[in-house]
Structures are given as C-alpha cells and as structure tokens.
Amino acid sequence: MNESLAAVELEGLGKIYRRSHLGRVKTTLGVEGVTLSVRAGEVFGLLGLNGSGKTTTLKLVLGLLFPTAGRAKVFGADAGSAEAKRVLGFLPEIPYLYKYLSGREVLRFYGRLSGIPENLLAARIEEVLKSVRMTQNAHRAMREYSKGMLQRIGLAQSMLHNPRLMVLDEPVTGLDPLGLREMRELIQGLNRDGKTIFFSSHSISEVEKLCHRVGILVNGRLARIVDQSEWGHEHGRLEEIFVSTVAPDHLKVR
C-alpha cells in the first residue's frame, strides 16, 4: 500500500438502518454525508452525544456495516476488504473475551484465528503483553480482571497482527482515574510507534489530551473538524467548542 495515502478516507458516507415491524418498514438515520480524512500517523477523535453516529462511523470503516451511500477506504483499500482488514486493529467498547480463559490463552486463541504462524505466536504474545503492561497478570482468568485490565487485554488482542491503524470504540468508558491514565499512555505509546489512531469517546478531557484533530458529529452528520491548534493548551477550550457546536443555545443561558 502507498504510504502517502490517508489512513482513513470517508466520502459522502451514509448509513440508514431499516427494519420491518408489523408489515411496515421503519428507517433510522445512522450517519449522512460524512466526509473526512484521517492522516497516517495522527490521533483522530470522534466526539458526539449518544446516538450521534460515532459507533456507526467506526463500524463502516471496519466493514462491519455496509454503507447506503458514499464510500470508506483504509489506506486506499475498500473498507471491509481483505486488504483493509490486514492493516486494521479494533478494540470494541466491550471486548468480546472468554472469561474462563487466562489473558495469555485468549491471545493465543485470537492469534491462531488471525493466522499468525505458531513459531512466531508465542513471542508476539509476550511482546504485546509487555506493551500493555499485563505480563504479570496474563496467567489469571479473565473473570478476575478489572475493567481496565480487560481493556488492556482487548487492546493487546487488537495489536497481535501489528496493524497500522487502530480503531478504538470508547476506549476509556468506565475506567477509574488510574485506568484512564494507563489507557491514555498506551494510546500515546502506540502513536509514537507509528500507529494511526481513530477513536470515539465521550470524554472531552481525554480527547483534548490525545488528539491531533477531532471530528464533532451531530445527529449523524459531521458538523465540524477541530484542529489541536484551536484548543492548544487551554484546558476546557475544546469543551466550549463542542458545546457551541452541538447545543449553541446552552451557551446563551449561562
């Protein structure tokens, strides 16, 4: 793949959900007309209220949903194609992990599913465990893990095949302050190692600390893209930008 290509390219992306009920078809807007480009090597965050289309956008990039309009590309390959999947790592909001297995066993299971050769898999598992600071707890059953530990094993699983693009859906949701800091440091470390990070979050303060750029979704539409230079080191500035974008009337009554 061409290194000069954007990591993610969305052009007029739309998704309408349809379902039948009592003989009638109901439609719900997921996203509409979303156009944006995530540069290779950057951390790009999606912000929005519940139901704004953040998870739908990520699922379209991953190829887990098919668009009803527009297109999504990953390093020039169509989203959902084998070529795109090879360079993608995904951490869902709630990782789907087998709680009766140990962390190391979970990684071995998913590594085999990914087709990593057996002679390379053990070393790669230890490498990603070290990266997410879980080596000392990898022998424990998943059911004994805290929320933060589950997230770190989920992140390790998404890193196994050494993807160029990491897609993270609400990676800090439900974490305590220590867990928040650990996840932030892990994401920053991945970015320093050359990974592109595309993630959604409700946490404006974490987005503020992590992102080079932020896209704000409102009712399924991309309302604004904000560059880091627009909030700089001024704490709370991104929150003001977000509120003025999603609920401008809120500012008038303050």
In this model, does residue 107 exceed pLDDT 50?
A: yes
What pLDDT, in 10s, does the model give residues 115-126? 899 999 999 999
Q: What's the mean pLDDT when you consider all of the chain? A: 90
Mean pLDDT of 193-198: 96
For helices 147-159 and 118-131, the axis angle rounded to 10 degrees is 140
Question: What is residue 69's predicted lDDT score, i.e. its pLDDT?
Answer: 96
**pTM to 2 decimal places:** 0.90
Question: What is residue 190's predicted lDDT score, i.e. its pLDDT?
Answer: 94
Q: What percent of the chain has pLDDT over 70?
A: 94
Mean pLDDT of 222-226: 95
DSSP line for 12-54? EEEEEEEEEETTEEEEEEEEEEEEEEEPTT-EEEEEE-TTSSH
- Going across the sheet that includes 196-201, the strands are 88-91, 165-169, 196-201, 43-48, 213-218, 221-227
Question: What is residue 95's predicted lDDT score, i.e. its pLDDT?
Answer: 82
What pLDDT, in 10s, does the model give residues 164-190? 999 999 998 888 888 889 889 999 999
Distance CA 95, CA 144 (A): 15
In this model, does residue 41 exceed pLDDT 90?
A: yes
Q: What percent of the chain has pLDDT over 90?
A: 71
**Which of these ranges, 25-34, 90-99, 194-203, 222-231, has the smallest mean pLDDT?**
90-99
Question: What is residue 4's predicted lDDT score, i.e. its pLDDT?
Answer: 65
Distance CA 78, CA 107 (A): 28
Distance CA 19, CA 30 (A): 13
In this model, does residue 39 exceed pLDDT 70?
A: yes
In this model, does residue 248 exceed pLDDT 80?
A: no
pLDDT grade, residue 77 (50/70/90)? very high
Hey, what domains does the chain have and what are their CATH numbers? Answer: 1-83+165-254 (3.40.50.300), 88-162 (no CATH)
Question: What is residue 147's predicted lDDT score, i.e. its pLDDT?
Answer: 87
In this model, does residue 67 exceed pLDDT 90?
A: yes
Question: What is residue 98's predicted lDDT score, i.e. its pLDDT?
Answer: 84
DSSP line for the chain? --TTS-SEEEEEEEEEEEEEETTEEEEEEEEEEEEEEEPTT-EEEEEE-TTSSHHHHHHHHHTSS--SEEEEEETTEETTSHHHHHTEEEE-SS----TTSBHHHHHHHHHHHTT--HHHHHHHHHHHHHHTT-GGGTTSBGGG--HHHHHHHHHHHHHTT--SEEEEESTTTT--HHHHHHHHHHHHHHHHTT-EEEEEES-HHHHHHH-SEEEEEETTEEEEEEEHHHHTT-TTHHHHHHHHHH-HHHHHT-
Tell me the backbone φ, ψ of residue 170, rounded to 5 degrees: 50, 60
pLDDT grade, residue 249 (50/70/90)? low
Mean pLDDT of 77-88: 95
Mean pLDDT of 80-98: 91
pLDDT grade, residue 220 (50/70/90)? very high
